[in-house]
Amino acid sequence: MHDEQKIVFSAYSVISRPAPSVSNISIIQQVDSVTVTLNSVGLSVNFSKNAVTVVVLGNALMMRLNGLCGALNGDLVYSDCQRTANFMNRTSVSEFITSHFVEAPEQLARPNREECGIIRNDTAQGDPLFTVPILYTRVANLTGPLHLCYEIHGRPDAYFNYISDDCTSVTAHYVQSTNAPIYNIIDSISIVAIDSADHCHQIQVNSNGCTATYDGVSITRNSPGPGSNDIRSPFSHRGISIRRYSDRVRIKVPNCADVSLVMWVVCETVNISDPYTGVNLGPVTMIKFIISRGFNLHEYSHGLIGQFWNIPINVSSFNGVSTYPPRFNDLLYTVFINHPVDPQRQFVGLLYRSWTQRGTSCLHVGNKQAGKIREIESPNDPVIRGTYTDYEVSGPFDTQFVYSVFKRSDSC
């Protein structure tokens, strides 16, 4: 065996020195998946029909992973519930690779944390059903990546803050679906970001045509015509980068840190059904917001998503009394939040798959508007701090709400 061996798994690569011995490699084959674990390296890779899942088991690989997704940590699915071939037909291979490019200073991994879901909805999303990965204390029967799933239905024609951090603020605009009035959907995402020179900028993506603007100027996928002020994608300036594709926009902002915050705004048209009758209500165009790299969000970050990001969370088996049928007893867990700014709170979650991906484990916490689960009396606090109305802002680029931590500069 060589002293150095390069191990390649699909879109992932890692260099191991020295090469792992055969005794340190385990391969488990199941009906629809294969799991390869490199014990000495601290890397587990699961191959299934629709996804490649990578879990970094410890700190040993920090700063040593690279590749399409290896520079992050988590899952890579080629498209949103579409076959790989279909995705490649509408997006060239070079564009696909470029969209996953990570600069050398940003090669890092989060232990035991999925933080790579460029197209797949498994990082943080809202539409307005949220799936947020958490850093949690392991219990005996919970060993893999875990998420919190909750709903903020909001109200029509209102703006709600998703992320509030030192130098980044993200706001979603809720509207009532025209052909399904029972649903609220997101039709735009607005971002206020401070660049590396401490200048404030406004970025917005709209569901109509998946258009994007930077300080009010359109980002175009084609060369601007004579006399046009449009900016051609990809655009990069002072730490802010915007790449616009036909159905999604990748946005990278510094957040006043060396490692960037990376977000995707995905524009999609989906068929929805009446939740009570099951009748198909037709197609609805909406926005899905995804954090694909949130490593530099602080523990004191806030917003409907930000308040759970990078917070150590304690999860334990629920030992109280519930009105759930007995068969659910082993699926109930108590979640304890010890936020550095917020008061301590705890609530109960029901372990089930995510509403978007069968392979994603979620603790479904709270009822509509992220209130406490009605089937549990006590102890059972609300999931989010306060109420959802505390996160409402006056407009797309308003950064101030009850729990805002955004540091306003003179240029904002």
Interval 324-381: pLDDT, tens: 888 888 889 999 998 888 899 999 999 887 665 556 688 999 888 888 888 888 878 9
Q: What pLDDT shows up at residue 115?
A: 38
Please give the Cα distance from 228 to 253 (Å, whole number). Answer: 25
Please name the residue that has the structure tokens 């029909």. 49
Collapse the DSSP code of 209 into the 3-class scheme (helix H, G, I; strand E, B; otherwise coil) and give the result.
helix
Q: Within the chain, which residues score under 50 in pLDDT?
A: 1-17, 19-20, 61-126
Q: What pLDDT shows up at residue 49?
A: 58
ω before 224 within 30° of 0 (cis)? no
Q: What pLDDT shows up at residue 220?
A: 94
Residue 93, H or E segment: helix 93-99
Please give the Cα distance from 353 to 375 (Å, whole number). Answer: 19
Please give the Cα distance from 240 to 253 (Å, whole number). Answer: 5
Strands, E assignment, 20-92: 25-29, 33-38, 43-48, 52-56, 65-67, 75-76
What is Dmax (Cα atoms) for the chain?
Answer: 69
Q: What pLDDT shows up at residue 23?
A: 59
Residue 331, CA atoms < 13 Å, CB-side half-sphere: 14
Do the Cβ atoms of 41 and 72 come closer than 8 Å? no
Collapse the DSSP code of 24 into the 3-class scheme (helix H, G, I; strand E, B; otherwise coil) and give the result.
helix
Q: Name the token pair of 210.
A: 């998946």
Give me the residues paired with residue 188 across strands.
173, 206
User: CB within 8 A of 234, min separation 6: which ones?
Assistant: 241, 242, 243, 244
Do the Cβ atoms of 40 and 18 come closer than 8 Å? no
Q: What pLDDT shows up at residue 354?
A: 67
Q: What pLDDT shows up at residue 355?
A: 64
Q: What pLDDT shows up at residue 384?
A: 95
Please give the Cα distance from 189 to 207 (Å, whole number). Answer: 9
Q: What pLDDT shows up at residue 396?
A: 97
